[in-house]
Each structure stands twice: as structure tokens, then as C-alpha cells.
Structure 1
């Protein structure tokens, strides 16, 4: 199996957001990739510019970043033509790697817009090298730009950045400085295409946490009534942990809970909601082992949110009373 290190550059509406096409906010204008063998040696490369159709005028910020010669894009091929050649070049047996989680999502969105059948298998596992760089060299949370990683690892900078092929090349070079086992065990799951049914729902266990990706629901209320979603299994022993603080809405509209496994201690739960293209929602639940200090912070968060809710209720009661 080969590794395809992919990078994209895209354009967006040069006007205000109201002129944006809601079905394609980001139009791909470059596809760059390098193909790596099992030892992470570069064995081939792919690069092509794409003629912008949805947003034929290049956004000024994109122009500044990529340093575009517009004539090169005006005469380029269309996205469907380039996409067909790209996937043919990838071959049937490959694993995708990217710097950050966005490229595969936008590639699938562009495929859908042009009604091109997606060649990606479900679920779509990939390696987010930006995330894995943080796991190996930093605090697991910080997300650095690609040039930072290149400088940190003392990789020679003989190409410019913000070019799809060059960025794919640098990402491949970063991979060669990572421990292979750290890459393989910290795979990511693309969520552009969520599970469609109960049987497709995804449960993945990592070293320090577990991830559950649900099927779509009509509303948050419907989602939070689903027992599979609100369960809190310990990722180490798979036994259901006791919820000391039931799921509650946090400051970011995500849901949180605090549970305790008899054998492995505290677990912090977080549920994020994401929209599907047809207006439904699906959920991503993360359950992570935490310290007693972090558990205390969750208790304080719940107390703060409860007090805010009570204050809002009192204010609404006063307004209603004065109105009448």
C-alpha cells in the first residue's frame, strides 16, 4: 500500500458572503500530491492547476498567499477532468495523509458539487500529520502551521510554501521524522460523510480517549435521547462509567459530562454537533481520561452554566412581569 500525501489550494467568493455559493464555499484551484512507498520515500508526484468556474475572480487574500498568475488558471482544465486523472494516479490501494483535517472534506464537497461519484471508502480513515506532529513533539493540542514543523525539524526549505505540490512535499518530509507507530495508531476519521444507519456508526479507541460518530438526527433533542450517544464507556476497559455529572450544555453549545470508572478514574465527555448537507445533525462524542483537577473544572463549568441559566430565567421573569 502506498501513501498519498495530499494538499489543496482553493478559492472563495471575492465578494461578500451573501454572494457565496452555499453548496461550494471553497472551489479547488490546485491539487498537489506526492506518493510515498512503505518506507516514506517519494516515488511519484502529481500537480495540476484547475480553472475556477464558480468564483472566476481570485479572492485578493488567496492572491496574496499563493501568488497566482491568473493566465495559468484561465487556461487550465476543469475540476472533473483533473479529479479523474488524480484518482487514476492514486491507484486503488492507498492511504491518504494531509496537513490538517480540511483537505479531504473540501475535496469530497467539490466532488459532490460536480456530481462525481466519490472513490473514497467508508469510513474514510486518514493520517492528519499536523495532529500527529503535535502528539509526537508537543502537547497533543497545539496545531502548528507547516512551515513551523519544517523549521522545527531542520528540513531544508528549497521550495516555497502555499503551493499544493510544495506543501505536499514538505508534509511528506515531516512524516519521515515521525515514529511510524505514532502515525499508524493516531489515525483520523473524516466526517464529511457521516454514518447513515445504526450499523455504520463509528466507535474508535485511541491511547488516551475514544471517539464515537453517530448517524444523523433531526435535532439536538433527538440526538441527546439516543442511549448509544449518551453512554459513557471507559476506553480502557469498555465498562460503562458512572456519570457523576450528567450531560449539560457548555459555553460553546457542546455538551459535557463527568463520569468515573471504578478502575480507571475520571472521564470527561464532550459531544459536538455538526450539520449534514441536508440540514440534519450528527454528533461526535469524545471520552477522555482526565485528572481530578480537570474533573473539578468540569464541576465548576456546570455550576457556572447553571447559574447563568438561572439568571437568564429571573431576567425573563422580570421582563414578563413588567410587560403585563
Structure 2
């Protein structure tokens, strides 16, 4: 079966009144969809571009107008209802004809916002679980170590690769074209294994929890927990396993909190060496949370640097505790 890569981009609006007028279930409303379809050789096949007529936030926020140069009247005149645009978009993608479709985007926000809008407007979500896609921004970062340290702007990548700039950035179809051009410049065959996982739908129970091995690291995605304390005291969350030989490891440096949302530890595999664990606690709904644990082999220098971080945090906490006023017994 042939594979189609859908490189897409969205523009969205928000409440022009800020937090006052923002709906919790729809903080961002999609106003433009742009996409480029590539074949399995990353050759361009066709394009898709539509305006969406806003239904909730009918007046454009001034920052959105300034960024995109889209006008409210333009959306009202040229835009179609979101449900109609989605029918046309998914048909164009080939999703209703059984084609194998893989989505690609610059960053991780577009798929999230697309599914959030589908849910809000009661439109069937056609994506399967788990949903893997290609984050071209991350793939670009893997090719350029300096870019991997922080999220690179699409315009920066286009300039760095010497690509011709033909249209304005921050328009859906133009950004989709630029993202496709960046992808076409990368050694995609070597990068194919580095698929990203969409977190809109999360594991509902232990059976659905995800364990994903990559060439140089492994990832675990947990089920939803009622709160952070429940998550960080769960054995599966805190266990350290070698992703090469799959044995349970002894921790050389136990989990410690770096900033209440990120935790680190060091474990030792007798066969493969030092393994760094990094645990991120992310908010789901309300007080609920889920965990993303990544494990990666590191050298002695990196392990010592993490141990030093723990020691520095301890010293800061001890200093803070000494400065706290002592209560006198009544």
C-alpha cells in the first residue's frame, strides 16, 4: 500500500477579550488549514488550502491579525464552516478511502488543536490510537545539534537551509509548504524511526500504557493518575529498565525533583552501563496528571553532572530551611 505524508499547518484565533471570553474547552479556534501531500518518495502530489469561518471567536484577536495578516471580513466572506472544511480535508488526505496516511507538522501543537476543535464541534475524530506522526521540527533538531537544544522557528530553519522564501510565514498553506521543503532536505530514511507520539488521547489503563524503543533512547507513557503524588509513587512509573536487555536495574541515584515537573535518576545496567532516567509530569484534566519517562545511556561525566545537580538543589533547600523562622512552643 502506498504511503502519503500530509504536511499540514493550522492558524487559529483566540478570544480577543483574553481570559474573560476564553472557553476552557476551546482556547483556540481554527481559522485556516493548509497542507501539502507528499508521496512515499517525498515528492509533492497536491495541496489543500481553506479558510474556516469562525463560530465562537468571530472577531480576530489583534495579535492574530498582526501575525497572519488575515482579516475578519476575509474569513466571513471566503471561509467555510469547520465541519465542511474537515470533510473536504480528510477526503483530500485519503483517510476515507483506506490509504495509509502519516501526518507531519512543525512542532506538536497542530494535531492537538485539530483534535480539540473536532471534539468541541462534535465531529468524529478519524485518528487511531496511538497516533504517531512526524514532528519535522524535532527531525531538523536531530540533524543540527545546536537546534536540538531549543525549538527552532520554521523561518530560522528555512534560512539555515538556504531555501527560497516565496510566501509570508504564519499562513497555513505557506508554512505547510516550507515545512515540506525542510523535510525534503533532511535524510528522512535515517530519521524515519523517530516518530513522535500525539498526547491528545492518553492511555486509559495499564494495558494501554506505551513503551517505545528508539535507537538511542526509550520512552514510556503512563496512564492518567488522580494527582502528582499518586504518579511519582507508582512502581511502574519509577522503575528503571534497560531498553536493550530489558532487565530491572538498580538505581545508583534515586529519583529527585528538579523543578516539581521534572525528575531525574541514574541506574546501572551491569551489561550496558549507566542509564539516565528523566520523568516529566504533565497535566491532563483538572488535577489529573500523566507521566512521560525517557531513559537514555549516558557516560560517567553526564552522570556526575546530574549528581551535582541533585547536590546543589539539596544545598539550596537546606539554606532555605535555615532561613525560615523557628516557631516557639506555646
Residue of structure 2 equivalent to 1:247: 255
Listed one character per residue, the Cα deviations across residues 10-53 of structure 1 (whole Å, up to 9, x for unaligned) are 11122232332111111111111111101111111111111122
Please report how far the alpha carbon of residue 117 of structure 1 lies from its aligned counterpart in structure 2 after TM superposition: 2.0
Match of 1:59 among 58, 61, 66: 61
- Partners of 1:195 and 1:154 lie apart in 2 by 41
TM-align CA RMSD: 1.8
Partner of 1:189: 197
In the TM superposition, residue 315 of structure 1 has moved relative to its aligned partner by 4.7
What displacement does 1:312 show?
A: 4.4
Q: 1:226 aligns with which of 231, 234, 239?
A: 234
Give yes or no for the alignment of 1:276 onto 2:279: no
CA offsets, 1:199-226, max 9 Å, x none? 1111111122111000001111211222
Equivalent residue, structure 1, for 2:273: 265
Segment of structure 1 superposing worse, 243-252 or 195-204:
243-252
* C-alpha distance in 2 between matches for 1:301 and 1:251: 11
Gap runs ≥5 in structure 2: none
List runs of 5+ in structure 1 lacking aligned partners.
none
Query: Aligned equivalents of 1:102 and 1:219: distance in 2?
Result: 24
**How many Å separate the matches in 2 of 1:55 and 1:319?**
53
Partner of residue 75 from structure 2, selected from 73, 76, 91? 73
CA distance in 2, matches of 1:89, 1:277: 33
Partner Cα separation in structure 2 for residue 278 and residue 112 of structure 1: 18
Instruction: Tell me whether 1:131 sits opposite 2:144 in the alignment.
Output: no
Residue in 2 that maps onto 1:2: 4
Q: How far is 1:319 from its partner?
A: 4.3
Alpha-carbon shift at residue 137 of structure 1 (Å): 2.7
Partner of 2:187: 179
2:214 equivalent in structure 1? 206
Using the TM superposition, give the Cα deviation of residue 270 of structure 1 relative to its aligned residue in structure 2, in angstroms: 1.4
C-alpha distance in 2, partners of 1:18/1:300? 44
Alpha-carbon distance between aligned partners in 2 of 1:157 and 1:235, rounded to the nearest angstrom: 43
When normalised by structure 1's length, the TM-score is 0.93
Kept after mapping to 2: 8 A contact 1:195/1:215: yes
User: Under a length normalisation based on structure 2, what TM-score does the superposition of the two structures give?
Assistant: 0.92
Q: Give 1:142's aligned residue.
A: 150
Indicate the residue corresponding to 1:99 in structure 2: 106
SS of alignment partner, residue 273 of structure 1: strand
Aligned length: 322
